[in-house]
Amino acid sequence: MAASSKDYSINDEFSLEEVLGSKVRIRILKALFRLGEANITRIARETNTHFSLVEKHLQKLKEIGIVEEKRIGRIRLFGLNYSNPKVHLLMELIRSMEGT
C-alpha cells in the first residue's frame, strides 16, 4: 500500500496488548501479511470471523497506525502500513513464531 501522509517514528506509542491482546487481531495481521491487501469480506473469510468483528478490529489497528485503508469507489481495501517501522517488527515476530 502507498505510504500514508503521517510519518511514523519508532517512538509512536501503542501498547503491545492493543495489537497482540486479541486472537482476532493476530489472525487479521497474519491474513494481511499473506494477502497484501484485502476488503473486509475477504479478511473475514480468511480469518473465519464475523464481518462486524473484523471491521471493529481493523478500525482499532488503523487508529494505532498498524493498518491503512485505501478506498476505490465504494470498496475499502486494508493492508499493513509498512511506513510504520513497528509493522516490520510485528511481521518479523509473526514470521519467527510461525516458522515461515
For 36-74, the pLDDT digits (tens) are: 999 999 999 999 999 999 999 999 999 999 999 999 999
Q: What's the pLDDT score for residue 19?
A: 80
CB 28 within 8 A of CB 55: no
User: Which pLDDT value is given to residue 4?
Assistant: 44
Q: Per-residue pLDDT averaged across 12-41, rounded?
A: 87
Residue 7: the pLDDT is 45
Mean pLDDT of 82-99: 88
Answer for the pair 53, 42: CB distance below 8 angstroms, yes or no.
Answer: no
Distance CA 15, CA 36 (A): 24
Coil, strand or helix at 15: coil
Per the DSSP assignment, residues forming a β-bridge with 88 are: none
- φ, ψ dihedrals at 8, nearest 5°: -105, 130
23-35 helix and 40-47 helix, angle to the nearest 10 degrees: 110
Structurally, at CATH architecture level, domain 28-98 sits in: Orthogonal Bundle (1.10)
pTM of this structure: 0.80
Confidence of residue 97 (pLDDT cuts 50, 70, 90): confident
Does 34 score more than 90 pLDDT? yes
Closest by alpha carbon to 78, among 55, 52, 51?
A: 55
